[in-house]
Amino acid sequence: MQHRNSSYIIELDQLADHVSSMDNMLARRDLGRMLNAARNIATDMDRELVECRRLNRYTSKYVQLESKLEEQLRTISKWLTWAHLRFS
């Protein structure tokens, strides 16, 4: 169960590295806020994972949080690509 969560954390860290390397302050600020929101979702997933381990299955709340985080990560990736094209 822990493996799924750690892959999201690794992806968040990679996106954070890309965002921090941007020259444009406005894009970096906006993408940083989006990353913070995604990190909050990942934190909620960690908390819910405790319940999942207790029940030996994924809860519906965990699955909802996971899909929300995946959507957030896709959105951040798209905006990061756009920002690189726009401000580079």
CB 61 within 8 A of CB 45: no
Give pTM, 2 decimals: 0.90
Range of the domain at 20: 2-87
Per-residue confidence at 6, pLDDT binned at 50, 70, 90?
confident
Closest CA to 69 of 18, 19, 15, 20: 15
Question: 61-82 pLDDT, tens per residue?
Answer: 999 999 999 999 999 999 999 9
CB 63 within 8 A of CB 4: no
- Cα–Cα distance measured from residue 83 to residue 19, given in angstroms and rounded to the nearest whole number: 9
Per-residue confidence at 1, pLDDT binned at 50, 70, 90?
low
State the total domains in the chain: 1
